[in-house]
Amino acid sequence: MIQISRKNYDDIPEPLTRPGTFRQIERAIVNMDGEKYNTTYYKDEIVVNKLKAFSVHKDDLNEGDRPKCYYCESYVDHVAVLQVEHFRPKAKVDNIDNNGLPHSGYYWLGLEWSNLLLSCPNCNGKKAKGNRFPLVDSNNRTSAINPIRNPPLSYDRTYCIANQPTLLNEEPLLINPEYEDPTPHLTFDEFGQIYGIGEKGETTVDILKLYRDPLLAARQAKLNSIIEEINLACVARQINRIDDSGLKVWFEKECTKVLELDNVKNEYCLWSRYIIANFESCVVSKIHMYKDELRLAFLQVG
C-alpha cells in the first residue's frame, strides 16, 4: 500500500452529482439501510475509470495502464475485477463495537466520493475487509447524519468528506491510502512478508490479510528474479566467463533493475522501496560471493 495522491475530494465525477444520486442517498437515510443503493451510480464507468487512473497515479487512464488495488497493490487483471469499495462500510459494520452495540453502517456515505476506493476482491471480500471498520475507541463512532437538503434536492457534504474533522476524529484503525501515507505503519522482512507497525498498521494488515500467501509469493518473485541474475553473474565470474569489469557491468545492470522497481505504477511499490532501503539484508545477504563488488555497484547506480 502506498499513498494515492491524485484524488481531489472536491472534483466529484459527474455521476455522483446527479439528482438521482441524491435521491439514492435520501432513500438510504429514510430506510437507514445502505444495502438499497443502486450500484449503477458508484459503478458508473466514469467513476470507476477515475479510481483506476488514480491507482497508477494519473488523472486519466490511458491504454496500457494497469490499475492496481489501493490496498495490496496487485494488478487486478490477474487478481480478478477491481471493485469500488466503501472505506466506511455503507450497509453494516461487523465485529460489533466494544460496547456491544451493533452498527448499521455508514448508509449516508454510500455515494460519497471521498468514501470510494478501489480494491481487489481478496482485500475487499468477506474473508478480509468485508464490513470491518474498527476504531481506536468505538465510542467515537460518528452518529448518522442527513446530508440531503430538500427542497431543493441537494447534498451538503460538510460532515461527509473523509478528511473532515468529524470523520477523522473517529480514528479508524484501517489506513486510508488517500489521505495518509501508509509508509510509517507498514514494514517487511527480507523475504517480503509484511508487518504492521503499531496498532493501526497491525490492524490494517490483519483486516486486509496483506500477509496472504499469494501476495507473499508475488513480492518474493519480484526480488528473486534479480537475485538469480546476480548469482548467475557470480558464477560466470568464478569460472572466468567474464572478468572484473564484466562483473561490474552485470551487477550495475541488476542494481539498476532494483532501483527501477520503485515506480508508483508497478505492483508492490512499498515492498520495492523496502528492498532499496534495505539492500544489504534483502539482496547482499542472499549471495555468497562478490558481496563487496555488489555493494559498490549499488552505490554506483544509486
Burial class (CB in 10 A: 0-12, 13-18, 19+), 63: exposed
Q: How many residues at the interface with Zn ion, by CB under 5 A? A: 5
Q: Whole-angstrom Cα distance, residue 47 to residue 27?
A: 21
Q: Indicate the residue among 12 and 123 with the shorter CB distance to Zn ion.
A: 123
**Least distance (Å) between residue 283 CB and Zn ion:** 26
Q: Which range touches Zn ion (CB under 5 A), out of 8-16, 70-78, 224-232, 267-275?
A: 70-78
Q: Give the dihedral sign, CA 278/282/283/289.
A: positive
Instruction: Check residue 69 for interaction with Zn ion (CB under 5 A).
Output: yes
**Least distance (Å) between residue 82 CB and Zn ion:** 9
DSSP 8-state class, residue 136: S
Instruction: Check residue 72 for interaction with Zn ion (CB under 5 A).
Output: yes
**CA neighbours closer than 13 Å in the CB half-sphere of residue 2:** 22
**Least distance (Å) between residue 149 CB and Zn ion:** 36
**Least distance (Å) between residue 69 CB and Zn ion:** 3
Helix, strand or coil for residue 149? strand
Q: Indicate the residue among 107 and 271 with the shorter CB distance to Zn ion.
A: 271
Instruction: Check residue 51 for interaction with Zn ion (CB under 5 A).
Output: no
Instruction: Check residue 71 for interaction with Zn ion (CB under 5 A).
Output: yes
Q: Whole-angstrom Cα distance, residue 286 to residue 280?
A: 9
Residues listed for the chain: 302
**Least distance (Å) between residue 276 CB and Zn ion:** 23
Q: Indicate the residue among 44 and 267 with the shorter CB distance to Zn ion.
A: 267
Q: All 3 cell numbers of residue 132? A: 470491518
- Per-residue string for binding with Zn ion, 235-254, x by CB under 5 A? --------------------
Q: Whole-angstrom Cα distance, residue 146 to residue 155?
A: 9
Instruction: Check residue 82 for interaction with Zn ion (CB under 5 A).
Output: no
Instruction: Find cell 541474475 and name the residue.
Output: 229
Q: Give the dihedral sign, CA 225/227/230/231.
A: negative
**Least distance (Å) between residue 74 CB and Zn ion:** 5
Phi/psi at 6 (5° precision): -90, -20
Q: Indicate the residue among 104 and 220 with the shorter CB distance to Zn ion.
A: 220
Q: Which range touches Zn ion (CB under 5 A), out of 18-26, 67-75, 94-102, 146-154?
A: 67-75
Instruction: Check residue 41 for interaction with Zn ion (CB under 5 A).
Output: no
| 116-119 and 83-86 beta bridge pairing | antiparallel
Report CA-CA distances (Å) from 276 to 223, 270, 290. Answer: 11, 10, 19
Q: Which range touches Zn ion (CB under 5 A), out of 3-11, 32-40, 72-80, 277-285?
A: 72-80
Contact positions with Zn ion (CB under 5 A) in 118-137: 120, 123
Contact 284, 295 (CB under 8 A): yes
Q: Whole-angstrom Cα distance, residue 118 to residue 120?
A: 7
Q: Indicate the residue among 123 and 233 with the shorter CB distance to Zn ion.
A: 123
Instruction: Check residue 269 for interaction with Zn ion (CB under 5 A).
Output: no
Q: List residues binding Zn ion (CB under 5 A).
A: 69, 71-72, 120, 123
